[in-house]
Copies of this chain bind each other. A is one copy, B any other.
């Protein structure tokens, strides 16, 4: 299925972003693997724990474990060349964001939860891997400070429930939702969009 393939692209991108953060913090190989793993599966794991779907999903399907392991080995070996891949990685990461958001929303609906909570679960699936990564690396999570990252998930989530009301095929709803998340994220990065700041004299563009 196309979504599963895209899910794997996202997992790869998230794991590599974990490796890069861990290398930056000069962690040892074990630390690098854990940070990569947590970045890739942390959001979905937190979601599964909060809705009570245990054992959490990566325990019952080892694909994701293998994908992350391979991504870590690849990223560590090519660590000096990763900057050449930054555009591809950004694209993978953004596709992952869209697909993870959809998976979270779906799980919420399947658990009989309300649209608002399902949207929250979508955003959590997309973004909390990065939050846990930053906490383990002793940083204030970057998405709390200067990214439109999470807002793209939330906007996508609302669009999902609006699109579902339209007389269009279900698959189209999924594709459009993912595209909305991806488009907002890309536009935000291109145009340096940020959420409005409440602080004066703030210069926090990255």
Residues of A within 8 A of B (CB): 22-23, 25-31, 34-35, 45, 49-52, 54-56, 59-60, 62, 65, 76, 79, 111, 113-114, 116-117, 131, 135-141, 143-147, 150-151, 194-199, 202, 204
A62:B114 contact, CB within 8 angstroms: yes
Residues in B with CB closer than 8 Å to A60 are: 113
Residues in B with CB closer than 8 Å to A198 are: 23, 29, 76, 79
B150:A30 contact, CB within 8 angstroms: yes
A199:B65 contact, CB within 8 angstroms: no
Residues in B with CB closer than 8 Å to A144 are: 22, 25, 27-28, 30-31, 34-35, 136
Please measure, in the bound complex, the distance between the C-alpha atom of A200 and the C-alpha atom of B86, giving whole angstroms: 23
- Max chain B C-beta neighbours (<10 A), residue from A31, A76, A79, A151: A31
Q: Which residue of B lies closest to A58 (CB)?
A: B117
B65:A116 contact, CB within 8 angstroms: yes
Say what secondary structure dominates the interface of chain A: loop
Q: A50-B45, A59-B51 are in contact. Are A29 and B196 (CB under 8 A)?
A: yes
CB of A31 to closest CB in B, whole Å: 3
Residues in B with CB closer than 8 Å to A79 are: 198
Residues in B with CB closer than 8 Å to A141 are: 31, 136
Residues in B with CB closer than 8 Å to A202 are: 26
Give the 5 A-B CB pairs with smallest separation, nearest first: A31-B144, A52-B54, A28-B195, A51-B55, A27-B144
Q: A50-B54, A55-B113 are in contact. Are A28 and B146 (CB under 8 A)?
A: yes
Please measure, in the bound complex, the distance between the C-alpha atom of A70 and the C-alpha atom of B147, giving whole angstroms: 23
Q: Which residue of B lies closest to A149 (CB)?
A: B30
Residues in B with CB closer than 8 Å to A52 are: 52, 54-55
CB of A64 to closest CB in B, whole Å: 11
Residues in B with CB closer than 8 Å to A45 are: 50
CB of A146 to closest CB in B, whole Å: 6
Q: A116-B65, A140-B138, A197-B28 are in contact. Are A111 and B145 (CB under 8 A)?
A: no
